[in-house]
């Protein structure tokens, strides 16, 4: 039985659940790219079965923020997925703030262990600052999913160094998330 992974590329193109914007870069664009690359990597590995929340770059989920989030969670719950990975980028009014962090509903859970493995690999492969695994029980996609779920903040779009990493090689982030999942499951890459 393949492990069923639901990859949620956070936000939408356009105004509905639009996400952060830094200069002329939309968060949703980076999230979409990293998620699609991650899905391609995982689909090439028979041990995983993958679905993505957005299947094309111009797809819009929901008609407002809450229905947009619910569409993703409902699909993952109905499948049902074994794991839910939501991909986001951060923003801050202070451009010096940088780094990756991974959010979970609560600590001392499978989600925390998965988050730690994914974050370790992002830090190692991408070379971004480690901001740790954090809890945020108010995040809907963590609260309403019925499976182990994590929300990955890849980096800060408002930090020039992080933005360069995010735009320059989204595949690095995707491969790091894949390796983090393998570590969590005690698997090694296919040779
Ligand atoms: Zn976001």
Distance 116 CA to ligand 1 centre (A): 19
Could you tell me which CATH number the domain at 3-185 has? 3.40.630.40
pLDDT at 77 over 90: yes
pLDDT tens, residue by residue, 169-186: 999 999 999 999 999 999
For residues 41-64, give the mean pLDDT. 98
Q: State the pTM of this model.
A: 0.98
Distance 70 CA to ligand 1 centre (A): 15
pLDDT at 15: 87
Distance from the alpha carbon of residue 147 to the mean position of ligand 1, in angstroms: 20
113-170 confidence digits (pLDDT tens)? 999 999 999 999 999 999 999 999 999 999 999 999 999 999 999 999 999 999 999 9
Domain range summary for the chain, segments of one domain joined by +: 3-185
**Could you tell me the distance, in angstroms and rounded to a whole number, from the CA of residue 89 to the centre of ligand 1?**
5
- What is the DSSP track for the chain? --EEEEEEE-S-SSSTT---EETTEEHHHHHHHHHHHHHHHHHTSTTEEEEES-SSTT---SSSHHHHHHHHHHHHHHTT-SEEEEEEEE--SSTT---EEEEESSSSSHHHHHHHHHHHHHHHHH---EEEEEE-TT-HHHHS-SSEEEEEEEEETTSHHHHHHHHH-HHHHHHHHHHHHHHHHT-----
**Ligand 1 centroid – CA 7 distance (Å):** 14
The confidence score (pLDDT) of residue 121 equals 98
Give residue 190 CA to ligand 1 midpoint distance, Å. Answer: 31
**Could you tell me the pLDDT band of residue 191, with boundaries at 50, 70 and 90?**
confident
């Amino acid at each position: 039985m393949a492990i069923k992974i639901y990859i949620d590329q956070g936000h939408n193109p356009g105004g509905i659940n639009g996400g952060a914007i830094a200069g002329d870069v939309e968060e949703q664009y980076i999230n979409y790219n990293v998620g699609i690359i991650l899905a391609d990597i995982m689909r090439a590995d028979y041990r995983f079965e993958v679905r993505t929340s957005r299947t094309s770059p111009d797809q819009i989920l929901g008609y407002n923020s809450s229905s947009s989030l619910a569409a993703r969670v409902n699909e993952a719950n109905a499948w049902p997925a074994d794991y839910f990975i939501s991909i986001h980028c951060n923003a801050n009014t202070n451009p010096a703030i940088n780094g990756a962090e991974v959010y979970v509903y609560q600590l001392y859970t499978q989600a925390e262990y998965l988050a730690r493995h994914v974050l370790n690999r992002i830090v190692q492969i991408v070379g971004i600052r480690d901001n740790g695994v954090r809890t945020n029980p108010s995040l809907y996609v963590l609260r309403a999913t019925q499976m182990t779920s994590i929300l990955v903040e890849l980096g800060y779009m408002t930090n020039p160094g992080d933005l360069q990493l995010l735009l320059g090689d989204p595949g690095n982030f995707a491969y790091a998330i894949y390796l983090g999942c393998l570590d969590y499951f005690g698997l090694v890459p296919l040779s």
